[in-house]
Structure 1
Amino acid sequence: MTAADSRHFDIAALFDAEEYLYFMAPTLAEEDTPAQCAFIEQALGLAPGSRVLDLGCGHGRHSLELARRGHAPVGIDLVPGFISHAQADAAREGLPCEFMLGDIRAFQAPAAFDAAICLFDAFGFHDDEDHARILAQTWAALRPGGRLLLDVRNREHMLRSPPVQVVERDNGDLMIDRFQFDLASGRMLDRRTCLRGPQRRDTEFSVRLYAFTELRALLAAQGFALQQVYGGFDGTPLSAARPRALLVAARPASPFDTAQ
């Protein structure tokens, strides 16, 4: 993959849901989804029964937990296997979640949501114009005063990370990621190889790594007022030592409020 085509790949084909959940199972088991959702509730100031838009919801783990906490999430994702998985879990538990197959670049809704979340690299796969469109449509979908939690990879941390990362299952199956940062596009190119027994699958994709100042400007350009920035779901401050950047921004409650 070159810098010229680093933004053009099939996201739905990239994420084989069964393969992803297989290799990520140890990580997902260790992640404290309830604690993350407690942070989401606090950071977004969610009142009981809040309508929450989950952009790039994946297999729905955060929407499902928010529903268990009494909220009304709507999740959207481009990968059919993820949506099927999320819908099955919601039906099995009888949770008031709505999951829909769709592209977050094309999603439009009236100003009916109390909050929106976009977590774990769902924001980054597209180009700058598409990312601006996603933010503009999210702003339109939020009621005045509604908040967005945007979670992305921390560029300063990623540029210091090892160029090769390996996930190994107990039986020796491997997922190998080889990273290369393209300075011209600001994107981290990833050549991924998944080895499961005799099977091998190779994919190439990239993620736009934004500096914090770029994200702040991008949010302001779409009318958001930045309220808080964190370095993780534990509420720590943003720093180059932290792998993620979490930004809380609001749609102003009145025309007299200004974007920061």
Structure 2
Amino acid sequence: MDATTSEFFSEQFAEAKLDSKLSRSETEARWIAEQIPGERILDLGCGRGRVAIPLASMGKSVTGLDSNPDYLEVARKRSAEAGVEIDWRCMSDTELEDESRFDGVISLFTSFGYHSDAVNREVLARVARSLRPQGVLVLEIQNRDAPRTFEESVSEEITSSGQRIEKRYVFDPRTSRRFMTFSYHERDRSHGVGSLDYRLYSVHEMLGLLEEAGFEKMELHGNARGLAYDPLGEHVVYMGSKR
């Protein structure tokens, strides 16, 4: 994980954007388990184990991959507390091995798209190679065509610990990349700024990339809890099987 990525995916980000989603983790894990009939699941960009741990509690054999060692340290503690064993791996999605062993790969909460177009394409190819034939991919990303994508926005959020976060999003239509900057404040004092950008794909672009990578029988959903696909919705879940 490079310095820029490490700076952005901080403890403050985890508290504000990852742990705030813990209440829906069980529901997402149940829906995912229904979509992937096999036992061996790779959680790509697993963070602090928000979905990997409930999947393991359901009897799945889970591998959690993330490039952030601090997040994985928390994930190990949480899985030990939950009494489940998970194969935690600290590595980038660009280092994913060609194992051809997983029954399913999941990538949630827009964990895909942080590289150049060429490298993003290679990541999808690596994902396909890591799956057994007919293995299932569940990929959730932000919808490029959602109206709010094109709006430059500045907002504030107060975390459970009382921390104030100023969030700024800017979309560049020339590159289809979204730039985000999070500024963290506590007691009116700034204590950290993180910036990052990622590629947003339209549905037709993403379907083309997935077909190129070796996926078929694609389905579209609105989130990882089974919501129906909405062309203008904030997220799209792409689900398909390896040819």
What TM-score do you get using the length of structure 1 for normalisation? 0.85
Structure 2: how far apart are the matches of 1:196 and 1:127? 35
Equivalent AA in structure 2 for residue 122 of structure 1:
S
Matches within 5 A, 1:73-152: 73-152=62-141
Residues 1:28 and 2:8 aligned together: no
Structure 2 equivalent of residue 53 of structure 1: 42
Match for 1:38 among 6, 30, 52? 30
Structure 2 equivalent of residue 248 of structure 1: 239
Structure 1 residue matching 2:192: 3-state secondary structure:
strand
Structure 2 equivalent of residue 176 of structure 1: 166
Q: CA deviation at 1:133?
A: 1.0
The change in CA–CA distance for 1:150 and 1:171 in structure 2 (over 3 A counts) is closer
Where does the alignment leave 5 or more consecutive residues of structure 1 unmatched? Answer: 1-7, 253-260
Q: CA deviation at 1:193?
A: 0.8
Structure 1 residue matching 2:94: 3-state secondary structure:
coil
Residues 1:68 and 2:57 aligned together: yes
Match for 1:237 among 196, 211, 228? 228
The change in CA–CA distance for 1:26 and 1:62 in structure 2 (over 3 A counts) is closer
Equivalent AA in structure 2 for residue 227 of structure 1:
M
Structure 2 equivalent of residue 225 of structure 1: 216
Structure 2 residue matching 1:165: 3-state secondary structure:
strand
Where does the alignment leave 5 or more consecutive residues of structure 2 unmatched? Answer: none
Structure 2: how far apart are the matches of 1:167 and 1:217? 36
In percent, how many aligned pairs have the same letter? 23
Q: CA deviation at 1:235?
A: 2.2
Aligned residues: 240
Q: CA deviation at 1:25?
A: 6.8
Equivalent AA in structure 1 for residue 42 of structure 2:
L
The change in CA–CA distance for 1:123 and 1:226 in structure 2 (over 3 A counts) is farther
Match for 2:5 among 7, 11, 16? 11
Question: Are the counterparts in 2 of residues 219 and 226 from structure 1 also a CA contact under 8 Å?
Answer: no
Q: CA deviation at 1:147?
A: 0.7
